[in-house]
Structure 1
């Protein structure tokens, strides 16, 4: 993977901040367009690179869900001096964002949960999760190969940094994060926006709806389903609409008006909240 593309980044400045969290085997590259849009609205944006990500498959051998959770928490705590702090996460990053909101309710003022990896798509992954305690996957198939990423935009796909493989044992960590995030839903008291892509080939969009319904203590929950693009929504054809929706949602919490020239985009389908 290109280290310049996958590096963490900081953008913008302001009294409010947003922490960006990428997904499993991904990198900050995946969420940079969303970060740029939020920085343009007057937020300081910080995107971290989760441990073991953004370099080689072997780098994921010695890390797991505890390392990712700890890295996200440490990054959140570095933003303590800002007036309000938001967290936006893509896929696995959305699960980590939920944990942060549940564990640090006084520090997380709003959430954007993008293509949340509540459950993977397809019966094969469902079966593997049910058999996870037997360790069969790691013995039979220690590595999972990857030849691409879930993007519909051919230009974005051509530019995407792609990790060619990952240890199958890390799926155990993903399942742990899924369970932990769902168990924490009732403790989340931040306003939350959940966005899914109808054509996602990695996670089940219905999982995003289930997540939104489970945020029973949140004062406001907005759910949007995007018709354009695949799993890596910020980089795909639905990215501009996602950025507009997330930016407007955070702006309402911040009590500010939309910036001049904010694009007038057609609403996603369906939308509620």
Structure 2
């Protein structure tokens, strides 16, 4: 992977901040267009590179979900001097974002959960999760090869940094994160936007409504379903609409600070995609 493309970044300036978290085997490159859009709206944006990501497949042998969680929580705490802090995560990054909101409710003022990896797509992955405690996957197939990433735009796909393989053992970490998030959803109190891609080939978009229903303590929940683009929504054809929706959602939360009333919980509703 090109280290210049996959490097962490910081953009913009302002009294409010947004932490951006990329997905499993991805990098900050995947979320940069969203970061640029939020910075243009007056937010300071910080996108970190999660441990073991953005370099070589072997780097993922030396990390686990605990390392990803530690990096995410430290990054959030580094933004303690800002007036308000928002967190936006893609795929696995959305799972980490939810855990941050559950464990640090006083520090996370709003969430954008993009293509949340609550469930993988297809019966094969469902079966593997059910058999995970037997260690069969790691013995039979220690590495999972990757030939591309889930983008519909051929021009963007041609320039995408792609990790060629990852250790199958890291799927155990993903499944653990999924379970942890489901156990902690009831502790998330901040407003949240959940965005899925209808044509996602990596995660099941039906996991979006599951999250919405599970966020019972959240002050306000908005759900959007994008018709254009695949899993890496910020870089794909649905990216501009996503950036507009997330930016508007965070703007409303920033403006609402002046009002004592909190918005009511709203039911899932699709946005025009």
- Provide Cα deviations, 1:21-65, integer angstroms capped at 9, x if missing partner: 000000000000000000000000000000000000000001010
Q: Give the paired residue count.
A: 260
Mapped contact 2:196–2:224 kept (Cα < 8 A): yes
What's the offset of the Cα at 1:229?
Answer: 0.2
Mapped contact 2:226–2:271 kept (Cα < 8 A): no
What's the offset of the Cα at 1:271?
Answer: 3.9
Mapped contact 2:16–2:44 kept (Cα < 8 A): yes
Indicate the residue corresponding to 2:265 in structure 1.
none
- Provide Cα deviations, 1:68-111, integer angstroms capped at 9, x if missing partner: 00100000000000000000000000000000000000000000
Indicate the residue corresponding to 1:218 in structure 2.
218
SS state at 1:4 partner: helix
- Runs of at least 4 residues off by over 4 Å: none
* Structure 2: distance between partners of 1:59 and 1:219: 39
* Structure 1: distance between partners of 2:186 and 2:23: 23
- Provide Cα deviations, 1:243-262, integer angstroms capped at 9, x if missing partner: 00000000000008xxxxxx
Is the aligned partner of 1:124 residue 2:124? Answer: yes
SS state at 2:207 partner: helix
- Provide Cα deviations, 1:131-180, integer angstroms capped at 9, x if missing partner: 00000000000000000000000111001000000000000000000000
**TM-score (structure 2 length as normaliser):** 0.94
Indicate the residue corresponding to 2:69 in structure 1.
69
Mapped contact 1:101–1:108 kept (Cα < 8 A): yes
* Structure 2: distance between partners of 1:34 and 1:169: 30
* Structure 1: distance between partners of 2:154 and 2:271: 27
- After superposition, residues 249-260 of structure 1 pair within 5 angstroms as 249-255=249-255
What's the offset of the Cα at 1:212?
Answer: 1.0
* Structure 2: distance between partners of 1:10 and 1:50: 15
What's the offset of the Cα at 1:182?
Answer: 1.0
Mapped contact 1:222–1:271 kept (Cα < 8 A): no
Indicate the residue corresponding to 1:138 in structure 2.
138
Indicate the residue corresponding to 2:31 in structure 1.
31
**TM-score (structure 1 length as normaliser):** 0.94
Indicate the residue corresponding to 2:18 in structure 1.
18
Mapped contact 2:10–2:44 kept (Cα < 8 A): yes
Mapped contact 1:203–1:231 kept (Cα < 8 A): yes
- After superposition, residues 130-169 of structure 1 pair within 5 angstroms as 130-169=130-169
What's the offset of the Cα at 1:67?
Answer: 0.3
* Structure 2: distance between partners of 1:249 and 1:92: 21
